[in-house]
Amino acid sequence: MDWGMKNRLSRIIKPETGKTVMLAVDHGYFLGPTSGLEKPSKTVEPLLPYADSLMLTRGVLRTSVNANVNVPIVLRVSGGNSIVGEDLSNEAITVSIKDAIRLNAAAVAVSIYVGSKYEHQTLKNLADLIDQAEDYGIPVLAVTAVGKEMARDARYLSLACRIAAELGAHFVKTYYCEDFKAVVESCPVPVVIAGGKKVSEMDALKLADNAISEGAVGVDMGRNIFQSTNPVGMIKAVRAIVHDNVPAAKAYDIFKSSKNKK
Ligand code: 5RP
């Protein structure tokens, strides 16, 4: 791995702990104005001091994030689908590598839909993006999107993560599942988890705690942070789990004791 690639990765996965808290706010690329993200700038600003990176689209980056912030950007570069469209898996690459560089992306992110109608197309998107990104030392995050019909179990997620790594992804984002350890152990690159749909704060913290205990290098969490009654409290609690090995129950105390500035 060349110096630039290593340096960009180390801006995201912090060398001090080997872990990362990524804040995902890219939902609008197929969901439109997602609850909690109606005004992205308002949502993101108070959370920035606690995020090791920000995952978002170029549209929201340009319009809603001040260019003087010092947070690494993980730029979503796949899309072209919508929640009301024909098939969510029908994605293309939507941002050129030149524009990703212009936007000073620390990494680029692309979804793959293993087992879906457009499986081949999305895997080709990943492989092509890696070829382009490698030229400039930019890491690629593969997101293992799960179609409605797909089981989120260790067998399926191991398959999807491993294929992403085999194609050359530098890190992988997937879902937590039963026997998650098996997913991590069969994936030769770092794995982060998505939070998924909003659940109770305690359940989301347990999810993060379990994932870290079973080998994830961090979270790339969205709705369970920005849809919380206290987003700042929630991201602080998640950070304590990820970077300080604080158990979920103690992290919940951090959430509760943090003043709500929503
Ligand atoms: C969609 C994504 C989202 O960023 C991600 O899943 C959002 O995180 P969360 O599930 O925690 O809201 O990559 O494919």
Q: Average pLDDT in the 61-88 region?
A: 95
Q: pLDDT digit string (tens) for 16-51?
A: 999 999 999 999 999 999 999 999 999 999 999 999
Task: Please name the residue whose Cα sits nearest to atom 14 of ligand 1.
Answer: 145
User: Which phi and psi (to 5°) does residue 143 adopt?
Assistant: -105, 120
Q: Which atom of ligand 1 is nearest to the CA of 24?
A: 4
Residue 114 clears pLDDT 80, i.e. is over it:
yes
Task: Please name the residue whose Cα sits nearest to atom 5 of ligand 1.
Answer: 194
| 241 alpha carbon – ligand 1 mean position (Å) | 19
Domain boundaries, the chain: 3-226
pLDDT at 107: 98
Q: pLDDT digit string (tens) for 215-257?
A: 999 999 999 999 999 999 999 999 999 999 999 999 999 999 9
pLDDT band at 259; cut points 50, 70, 90:
confident
CATH architecture of 3-226: Alpha-Beta Barrel (3.20)
DSSP string, the chain: --HHHHHHHHHHSBTTTTBEEEEE--THHHHSS-TT-SSHHHHHGGGGGG-SEEEE-HHHHHHHS-TT----EEEE-EE---TTSS-TT--EE-S-HHHHHHTT-SEEEEEE-TTSTTHHHHHHHHHHHHHHHHHTT--EEEEE---TTS--SHHHHHHHHHHHHHHT-SEEEE---TTHHHHHHT-SS-EEEE--S---HHHHHHHHHHHHHTT--EEEE-HHHHTSSSHHHHHHHHHHHHHH---HHHHHHHHHHS----
Q: State how far the alpha carbon of 168 is from the alpha carbons of 72, 114, 211, 254, in Å.
A: 21, 16, 23, 38
Q: In the chain, pLDDT over 90 holds for what percent of residues?
A: 95
- Does the beta carbon of 168 lie inside 6 Å of ligand 1? no
Q: Average pLDDT in the 73-95 region?
A: 95
Task: Please name the residue whose Cα sits nearest to atom 10 of ligand 1.
Answer: 196
pLDDT at 147: 72
- Does the beta carbon of 211 lie inside 6 Å of ligand 1? no
Catalytic residues: 173
- Does the beta carbon of 77 lie inside 6 Å of ligand 1? no
Q: pLDDT digit string (tens) for 151-178?
A: 889 999 999 999 999 999 999 999 999 9
| 129 alpha carbon – ligand 1 mean position (Å) | 20
Q: Which atom of ligand 1 is nearest to the CA of 219?
A: 11
